Structure formats: structure tokens, C-alpha cells
Structure 1
């Protein structure tokens, strides 16, 4: 992980948030250094930021373990890294946003195995194009893709299976199945023309978020693709900082 410590953070009082970002890449490719455009707006605001890698090419189950592991590690290193872990914002793009969302909605589930240690509180989630439901649909999109690397990603999502993963396995990694009103506020960005995580897979989750419009915010771009353009990202961050100010 890359840890950016700001000299201004402690002066921010309630706005002293710790932002933890996870990159995309289908749990298979990419690296924290590849998507730094997502963390620059937070750095400019003087926030502490953690840019996190996670194990790739090991599948969804392994990748989702690494965010709780990292947060728990940071809790043991408070003297070295003076981060405010009582006000953590989990964010990511694509696969990373899925991992962030999973950690947030399972934090209050006593049956979920990857537990956060006491003293860590998730204050909010910012999800760019990360699966929240219909992970089986996403698996089909990748496994049936004609582009070799996309097919490789699809085959590696659940490496313990050689065909499509059984629904009961996939369901364990769908944030919607853990969602409740005690979960932290969500900011969700997604595009109507996303060819990797189809817009239809967000519909039920969005309906849940929209039950509390003062708490959650959904930014849906009908013409948006999987990855936001520079202009779309800049526009999103204007809304994101309004969202964060309410937390």
C-alpha cells in the first residue's frame, strides 16, 4: 500500500477522513499505480489516503480478504501511521469498488468471516462501476468475451470452479445480500453503456439506496461506459465532496 499522510488532516476536525482506494482490473490485472487519478482529488483536499493493492489472479474470494486485512494492519500501526480509522471512506473502481462495498456492508454482519477489529468505522463508500449484484451476470460477460484477456479474467473470478460458479458461491460475494439500513452511506457511480458490469445489475441495489435519498447518492450516466472519462470524473468529484461534507 501507498500511504499519503497530510500535514493538514488533523486540522480538518470532522472532515478528517481516511480514504482507502482500491484499483480495478477484474481481480486479475492492474496495480495501485495505474489509477491514481481517483486519489488526486482527495490529496488536493489535504486528506490522508491509502492506495491499496490486493492479491490478483487468485479470484474474488481471496481478493476480498485483503481490504479487511489491510485495515486491521493499519489499526496495529497507529503510532507509525496516524490515520483516523474512526472515519474511513472505502472507495474503488470496478473490482476495487466491489471489494470496498463488500467490506462496508459486511462490517456489521457477525457471521461474515473477515471481521474488522474494534476501533475501525466505515463512514462511507464511493463506488465507481463496482459489482453490487448480479455477479453471475458479470462472470458470464467475461467468460464469453472474445478478447483473450477478458476471457482469462472470467475464468479466474472463481478459480475453484472450471465452469460457471454455482449461485450459492457467487451470492456470498454480492454486496446486495448483506445490505441493511445500518450500513454506511453509499455514493454509487455507474454508466448505462457499461459493457463489463451491465447497468441492469445495479437496478435492485439502486432501489435500496434510493429508499434513503438523504443518506445515499446515485450518479447514473445513461451514456456512461465502464470507466468514467476525465470530464465525467471531475463532475463526479464535485458531487462526491458534497456527499462527504454531509457525513
Structure 2
């Protein structure tokens, strides 16, 4: 096997082989190198609503990653009610260090799960319509998020091959994998009760706002439409799920059935269960997770 050495801008050397690139082996760029290399455009509008904005991080070296030249699209958490793309950038930093193209997006909040879950599709369709400007590889999209954002990413990924589900992704877009940190995949009724019964005002407000079409707890038949497990099948993209055993917002019980489905194909999917993990991973847990994520992208995502 012949090794080829590409000398990238900023003095960073990327060791590639003639057969395959391994993201786990790509040296991390320093903050100074990233700042000098990336072309960053903030608050690009992908829809008419003021909250439908995204940040673009375009890498001049992404093409050198060849078949691992994924387009990373990240969605923040916050219960579909609070937070912002600028507040959870720690989740995109590991991808930026590898020289990948990254999209960090907002979506409509405080208006419920049904509306929020539409916005990833609109954002991806926007990228496709404007790709003459961005030059992204949209046949290798990794959708990822934390908490509510991870739920949205998971739902869009598993409904992409469902002809009855709307809104639809435009042709030419392909979700190659999903990275889910603490995002609901089942049991949204359990999550709703966790928040609505909470004594902290903002937590209760989140619970009330999850399904604004209802004045009380939403019917299970209605909630099921927004649970990724409803649509899961063997043709869905590979999943990586990080799950904290002491998560008090998205209880571990809500993952059990979905995780069992993923584990039926361990050559395709990866589950990282952290017994003492909370809803949000610690710095050390996050660092360990990204080691596993890059191995997942190298070995299980095509």
C-alpha cells in the first residue's frame, strides 16, 4: 500500500493512504490554524423566519479527506424552547479540527416539536439549492445534535426514505450517518411528563410548549408521529448514540427499545452508554465520545 503525504495550508500535514482516509488519524488543527483556514459566514438565512439561520464553516482542505469528506450539520439542544447555535459550539469543534465542512444551525423555538422538526429539512434543501456557492458534498451528510437537536437529526434521518413523510428532502441529498447526543428517539410522552411535572418554571414551560396543539398531555397516537422509532428500518443510515445513565431529562428507559434495534446490527451502529453520565456530557466524556465518533465514521459510515 502506497502512502501519500499531502501538505496542507498552515503547515498541517495529513497522512492519507491510497486506499482510505482515517479521520481518527487526521492530526487536529490548532485554534490558530482553524481561524486562518476556515471561511466562516454567520447567520445565513435558510428561510423567511428570523430564527431560520445557520453558520457556515467552509474548509479549504475538506476535499483532501476524499471519501471522508462529510458535511456535518449540527443542531443545538434546549428543549425546542431555549438556547442558540452559538452556545453549543463545543460539539462542532472536533469536526473543525479535522478540517471538515460544518453547518451549525438554529431552528424555530418556543413553537413546539412539530414546527422545529421541519427546519432541518428546509436547511438541507437550502444547501442543495445554493451549493454552487458552498461546494459541499451533500451525498455524505452527517446530521448531529444535542438533546432536542439530536432528536430532530434522528427524525429527519429515519423519515428520509418514507414517501409519506413531509416535508421531503430534495433529490441529491443523502444522510450518510447520525450522531445523537441525548436526543429523544422514543417515549416523547415520558419526556413531556418529566418537563411538565417539573417545579422549575422554565422546565415546566418547556414541557407545556412541546406540543402546543394540546392543552394537556399530548395523545400517544399524536406523539408517535415525532418519535424516530416509529420510522426505523434496516435502510436507515448508521447511528451513533451517546446516552447518559443518569439523564434526568431524557430518561434512559426511553432509549431501550431503539438501542435494542441498533444493536441488532453492531457492524453498522454504535451505542456509547455512560452509566454515570448526565443529560449533558462532561468535557472528559465528550472527548472520549469524539474518539469513538471518528472511529464510527471511519469504520461504519459509507
> Could you tell me how far apart the structure 1 residues matched to 2:179 and 2:297 are?
10
Q: Map of 1:37-186 to 2, 5 A cutoff?
A: 37-186=90-239
1:114 deviates by 1.3
1:42 deviates by 0.1
Give the equivalent residue in structure 2 for 1:17: 70
SS in 1 for 2:63: helix
The two structures have a TM-score, normalised by structure 1, of 0.99
> Could you tell me how far apart the structure 1 residues matched to 2:237 and 2:129 are?
23
1:9 deviates by 0.5
Unaligned runs of 5+ in 1: none
Match of 1:196 among 249, 270, 279: 249
> Could you tell me how far apart the structure 2 residues matched to 1:244 and 1:27 are?
27
> Could you tell me how far apart the structure 1 residues matched to 2:117 and 2:254 are?
19
The two structures have a TM-score, normalised by structure 2, of 0.81
Give per-residue Cα distances to partners, 1:165-208, cap 9 Å, x unaligned.
01111000000000000000000001110000000000000000
Highest RCO, 1 vs 2 (Cα 8 Å, sep ≥ 6): 1
Give the equivalent residue in structure 2 for 1:223: 276
> Could you tell me how far apart the structure 2 residues matched to 1:71 and 1:113 are?
14
> Could you tell me how far apart the structure 1 residues matched to 2:247 and 2:187 are?
14
Which runs of at least 4 in structure 1 moved beyond 6 Å after TM superposition?
A: none
SS in 2 for 1:80: helix
> Could you tell me how far apart the structure 2 residues matched to 1:157 and 1:116 are?
24
Q: Rg: which structure is higher?
A: 2
> Could you tell me how far apart the structure 1 residues matched to 2:242 and 2:64 are?
30
1:81 deviates by 0.9
Give the equivalent residue in structure 1 for 2:21: none
1:25 deviates by 0.1
> Could you tell me how far apart the structure 2 residues matched to 1:153 and 1:169 are?
18
Task: Please give the root-mean-square deviation of Cα atoms over the aligned residues, in Å.
Answer: 0.4
> Could you tell me how far apart the structure 2 residues matched to 1:15 and 1:167 are?
40
> Could you tell me how far apart the structure 1 residues matched to 2:242 and 2:153 are?
14
1:79 deviates by 1.2
Length, aligned pairs only: 247
> Could you tell me how far apart the structure 2 residues matched to 1:242 and 1:8 are?
20
Unaligned runs of 5+ in 2: 1-53
1:43 deviates by 0.3
